[in-house]
Amino acid sequence: MTEAETAVVGETTLVTIDQGAFRGVRADAGWTFKGVPYAAPPVGEARFAAPRPPLAHEGIADATTWGPTVSTPPQRSAVMDALIPDPRRPGENGLNLNLWTPDLGGSAPVLVFIHGGGFATGTGSTTAFDGSAFARDGVLAVTINYRLAVEGFAQLPDAATNRGLRDQVAALEWIRDNIAAFGGDPAQVTIAGESAGAMAVCTLLAVPRARGLFRRAISQSGTGHHVHTRARAEVVAAELGLELGVEATAAALAEVPVGELHTATNAVITRLTSGKDPRFAEFRRLVFQPVVDGDFLPEHPVDAIAAGAGADVELLIGVNAEEYGLFVTPTGLAGALNEEVLTATTARLCDDPAAMVATYRAELPEATPAELFVALQSDWFCVAPTDRLVETRRKAGRPTYAYQFAWRPATYDGSLGACHTLEIPFVFDTLDDPWGIELRGGDAPQALADQMHAAWVAFVADGDPGWPAYDEDRTFRRLDLEPASVSDPLAFSRHAWEGIAF
């Protein structure tokens, strides 16, 4: 464990570790340090390399304001960019973390949150991820940045694989070695994430180098199904090279101006996921994601979990009732969804789209094509994979708690549903933050945030969120205005997608 010195001066404080001294600032509860490097800057020859140890510095490093964000393509949807924006903060080293600690002299349990964004966008310095409420309630909260898109996940012959995942592990190693100096307990670390962050959480269960770095895990709207084989990842890299007119190598891509690289990245994402070219039929959702490389990620995470990976890790995992509503109602896609489009989009998910649509129509006889689209896409993308994962853990006797977030806001004339990302400010108790407020509305129920935040705090502290574990009754906690434990709420999804690969 790193020897550290701590000194408090007025409303700022200094913490000194082997890396150097950092100045933090008084927060609403405890202290906060922002933009602390956990690795060396990923620039020059390090841009496509595995993360390297952070550089030591002389004097005092200011950690009172957000650090730089990683280089990331702009969101492809202007609507999403307006509703749930990614802040962009210039600077050299985006491999940094932010922490909120209740007591520099304490030994608090630690929550490490991994942001979402499809492994292509996002940042840990999004204001709705502010950890002040966790510090208030005795948890040391950490948010991290990691490399994304090409820099983080492109499979290149002359570069380290899974650089974004390696960054996450490097952050966890930094936490293991240094968090005690900030008042945290390195033996009580919980990793958590939403969307791609949740996928990363489940994938880290299968990463040998991550073993022992966390005791618990929380997965919000994501599982371990979203990974590429080497061959599929190489297709992505090849298309990127063709788009840019360069060889698909780290050396060649390093010479491409950043703006041009980002433009090409979004063009490739669009081409591979549009469904217009049968060569890319396998690319049904994410283009950049972890790769089963046989080394850092030796096997598919779901197979590894079934074989016992993460057996000693307590897991809290859940879904939102209408995940895909985020991408349908606010974007105006609902108006374009008719029976023909519904069947065509479903054809990308299974071999018999007509039968699948009929199955959903029988379950939801009054639903519009847009509502059926949301139900189908939500179940394929997140709900059915989550059901399979918790069943795998149950059969193996692994400790797992499950939830379904079901609160539906009145925004968009009530058509949005309990959509993707909606639960985040409830978890962080940041309902007053402007991020996503047009989705949830200005009158989102604080009582539900109180209950959800308390459940997350309890799980981080002792592994029990306050409801029964998932068992043979398939018990979920339905999180709504009146939370309740319910039996098998994902039964329809399970039966609809039985035997179909994701």
Identify the pLDDT of residue 169: 99
Band the pLDDT of 5: cuts 50, 70, 90: low
Our count of domains for the chain comes to 3
| Residue 21 near residue 14 (C-beta atoms within 8 A) | yes
pLDDT for 2 equals: 45
CA distance 32 to 261: 35
Structure tokens at 367: 């639903």
The answer to whether 14 and 6 are in contact (CB under 8 A) is yes
**Catalytic pick among 420, 423, 453, 493:** 420
Question: Which percentage of the chain shows pLDDT scores above 90?
Answer: 93
478 vs 179: CA distance, rounded Å: 34
Round to whole Å and give the CA distance between 179 and 107.
9
Pairing assessment for the beta strands 5-9 and 12-17 based on DSSP bridges: antiparallel
Give me 207's structure tokens: 């990463």
Residues 234 and 222 in one domain: no
The single-letter code of the amino acid at 412 is Y
How far is it, in rounded angstroms, from Cα 402 to Cα 325? 21
Q: Rounded to the nearest 5 degrees, what angle is found at the Cα of 415, between the Cα atoms of 409 and 418?
A: 50
Cα 267 → chain centroid: 23
Is the model's pLDDT at 6 over the cut of 90? no
92 is catalytic: no
Closest Cα to residue 40, out of 184, 150, 149, 171? 171
Residue 76, pLDDT score: 87
Report yes or no on 192 lying in a domain.
no
As a whole number of angstroms, the distance between CA 218 and CA 113 comes to: 9
72 and 150 assigned to the same domain: yes
Instruction: Assess if residue 87 is contained within a domain.
Output: yes
Domain extent, residue 235, equals 230-280
Q: Are residues 219 and 242 in the same domain?
A: no
Same domain, 325 and 353: yes
The pLDDT value given to residue 7: 73
Q: Kindly state whether residue 482 falls inside one of the protein's structural domains.
A: yes
Find out whether 440 and 414 touch, Cβ atoms under 8 Å.
no
Nearest-5° Cα angle at 276, 270 to 277: 95
Confidence grade of residue 365 (pLDDT, cut at 50, 70, 90) = very high
108 backbone dihedrals φ, ψ, rounded to 5°: -80, 150
Considering the domain boundaries, does residue 291 fall inside one?
A: no
How much is the CA Rg of the chain, to the nearest whole Å?
22
- The answer to whether residue 195 is catalytic is yes
pLDDT one-digit tens code per residue, 22-49: 999 999 899 999 999 999 999 999 999 9
How many alpha carbons fall within 13 Å on the CB side of residue 4?
22
- 501 assigned to some structural domain: no
Residue 384 lies in a domain: yes
Task: Give residue-wise pLDDT tens across range 196-240.
Answer: 999 999 999 999 999 999 999 999 999 999 999 999 999 999 999
Same-domain pairing of 206 and 235 = no
If you count DSSP H runs as helices and E runs as strands, how many of each does the chain have, helices first? 17, 16
- Pair 259, 302 in one domain: no
Are 263 and 220 members of one domain? no
Q: Is the pLDDT of residue 135 over 90?
A: yes
Tell whether 220 and 234 lie within a shared domain. no
| Calpha distance 197→282 (Å, rounded) | 22
Do 238 and 135 lie in a common domain? no
- Does 97 fall in a domain? yes
In angstroms, the CA 403 to CA 448 distance is 14
> Domain for residue 502, yes or no?
no
How many CA within 13 A on the CB side of residue 349?
24
Structure-token pair, residue 105: 């002299």
Q: Please confirm, yes or no, whether 420 is among the known catalytic residues.
A: yes
User: Could you tell me the end-to-end alpha-carbon distance of the chain, in angstroms, rounded to an integer?
Assistant: 42
Q: Both 9 and 56 in a single domain?
A: yes
**Are 243 and 333 part of one and the same domain?**
no
Determine which one of 71, 125, 132, 195 is catalytic.
195
pLDDT band at 285 (very low <50, low <70, confident <90, very high): confident
Q: Which of 323, 371, 415, 453 is catalytic?
A: 323
Task: Report the CATH number that the domain containing residue 330 is assigned in CATH.
Answer: 3.40.50.1820
Task: Give the per-residue pLDDT at 1.
Answer: 38
For position 83, what pLDDT does the model report? 96
**75 confidence band (pLDDT: 50, 70, 90):** confident
Band (10; pLDDT cuts 50, 70, 90): low
Q: Are residues 214 and 243 in the same domain?
A: no
